[in-house]
């Protein structure tokens, strides 16, 4: 089987997880898998409403499970297949996990047409913090900077 066929198969597996969510009551219609060395090492499906966890998107769940499986906080060399373009939260999670590559199916606009805020959140990122729909305001105290300087001097820190 060629590389292109395998890519389609992994994507189909992510979509199948999304489809099961339509039939069940875990959360939104999204699925994702993490692949390493040509094998699926973790599956994730959206569990926002069933776990009462707004961060339990398919990609986040798959990344967390893959890290548990591998015993690391770093997914270097892995690929992530998601049934839909990652929202900003999941995109951030992907950058922190550092896989080699991501494949996605539907787009943020498709998600918006199904009632999800992915596209809205992408738009909000480029709005000044205080003018966002959720206003965000900086409060800099004397203590604010001292934490980073202490971190910079910490000798036994684990970088990520």
Q: How far is the CB of 40 from a copy of itself (least distance, A)?
A: 16
Residues annotated as part of the active site: 59
* 120 lies in the site for a copy of itself, by CB under 8 A: yes
Which residue is listed with tokens 């926002």?
48
Segment 36 to 75, residues that bind a copy of itself, using CB under 8 A: 48-49, 51-55, 57, 60, 63-64, 67-68, 71-75
Position among 38, 89, 127, 131 found at the interface with a copy of itself (CB under 8 A): 89
* 88 lies in the site for a copy of itself, by CB under 8 A: yes
Q: How far is the CB of 39 from a copy of itself (least distance, A)?
A: 19
Which residue is listed with tokens 């009551």?
25
Position among 6, 77, 107, 127 found at the interface with a copy of itself (CB under 8 A): 107
Q: How far is the CB of 43 from a copy of itself (least distance, A)?
A: 15
The strand pairing partners of 79, in sequence order, are 35, 101
Report the distance separating Cα 104 and Cα 107, nearest Å.
Answer: 8
Q: Which lies closer to a copy of itself via its Cβ, residue 37 or residue 156?
A: 156
Q: Which lies closer to a copy of itself via its Cβ, residue 37 or residue 139?
A: 139
* 25 lies in the site for a copy of itself, by CB under 8 A: yes
Are 78 and 99 within 8 A, CB to CB?
A: yes
Which tokens in the block code for residue 38?
């040509």
Segment 132 to 151, residues that bind a copy of itself, using CB under 8 A: 134-141, 143-148, 150-151
Reference 48, options 24, 70, 67, 68; nearest CA is: 24
- State the DSSP code for 132: S
Report the distance separating Cα 127 and Cα 113, nearest Å.
Answer: 22
Task: Give the largest CA-CA distance in the chain.
Answer: 60
Are 35 and 84 within 8 A, CB to CB?
A: no
Position among 34, 42, 58, 93 found at the interface with a copy of itself (CB under 8 A): 93
């Amino acid at each position: 089987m060629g590389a292109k066929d395998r890519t389609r198969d992994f994507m189909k597996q992510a979509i199948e997880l999304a489809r099961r969510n339509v039939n069940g009551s875990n959360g939104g219609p999204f699925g994702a898998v993490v692949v390493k060395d040509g094998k699926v090492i973790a599956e994730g499906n959206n569990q926002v409403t069933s776990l009462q966890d707004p961060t339990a998107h398919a990609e986040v769940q798959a990344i967390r499970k893959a890290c548990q499986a591998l015993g690391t906080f770093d997914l270097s060399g892995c690929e992530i297949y998601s049934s839909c373009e990652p929202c900003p939260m999941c995109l951030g999670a992907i950058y922190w996990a550092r896989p080699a590559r991501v494949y996605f199916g539907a787009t943020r606009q498709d998600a918006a047409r199904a009632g999800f805020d992915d596209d809205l959140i992408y738009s909000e990122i480029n709005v000044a913090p205080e003018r966002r729909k959720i206003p965000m305001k900086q409060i800099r105290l004397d203590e604010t900077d001292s934490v980073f300087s202490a971190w910079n001097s910490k000798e036994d820190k684990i970088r990520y």
